[in-house]
Amino acid sequence: MKSIKKYAKYLKLFLVFIVAPMSLYIFVQNIINWTKGYVPKNVIQNVPIFKAISPTTKTLGMVIDTIIPFIILIFGFISFIKILDLFKKGEIFTTNVFYQFKTLTKLALIWVIYNPLGYTLLLLTITINNPKGHRYLGLSFSSQDALNILLFGLFLLVTSLMYEGLRLKKESDFTV
């Protein structure tokens, strides 16, 4: 039990002082790039852009490519920190821990589903001002995306079963 508390403490420090600032730096850098009109390489290498990108398109691109994924990431960080705090308190197999794991798994599943959808929306947003016949709607769905969705879907199923099992056990303990 002491080692779990110790690992939770160090992992939280690592998350708060290294991972979160790095993520914030990347977020700010992406916002700056979008305001300057830089389109991500994975989008621009696949499609031609005939007109200058308008401020509205930049804003939509920024929201799709940077802000929405960052919001999902922040909620994931919050959920993970809650799990680590519960571990530091000595709670391991409690309803709160399983609920937070279920929440974290849902967020991870949302993240991996949003990845190909975000690319599709971004591609459409960037090329919407192109002349007719040169607008693109493409889906980027790789075998890695499919594997991630399957894996996190399985994790969600397992955490839901564990959460439900603990809830039923507590319910049956009260009835005896």
Domain ranges within the chain, ordered by starting residue: 2-175
Buried b (16+ CB within 10 A) or exposed e, 131-141: eeeeebeeebe
DSSP assignment of 102-163 equals HHHHHHHHHHHHHHHHHHHHHHHHHHTTSPTT---------HHHHHHHHHHHHHHHHHHHHH
Between CA 6 and CA 150 the distance in angstroms is 32
Whether the CB-CB separation of 162 and 98 falls below 8 Å is answered with yes
pLDDT by residue, tens only, the chain of 176 residues = 688 889 999 999 999 999 999 999 999 999 999 888 888 777 777 777 777 788 898 899 999 999 999 999 999 999 999 999 999 998 888 889 989 999 999 999 999 999 999 988 988 888 888 888 888 888 888 899 999 999 999 999 998 888 888 888 888 877 75
Residue 153: the pLDDT is: 93
Neighbours of 64 (CB within 10 A): 22
| pTM summary value | 0.84
- Cα dihedral 56/59/61/63 (nearest 10): -140
Identify the three-state secondary structure at position 136. coil
pLDDT of residue 176: 58
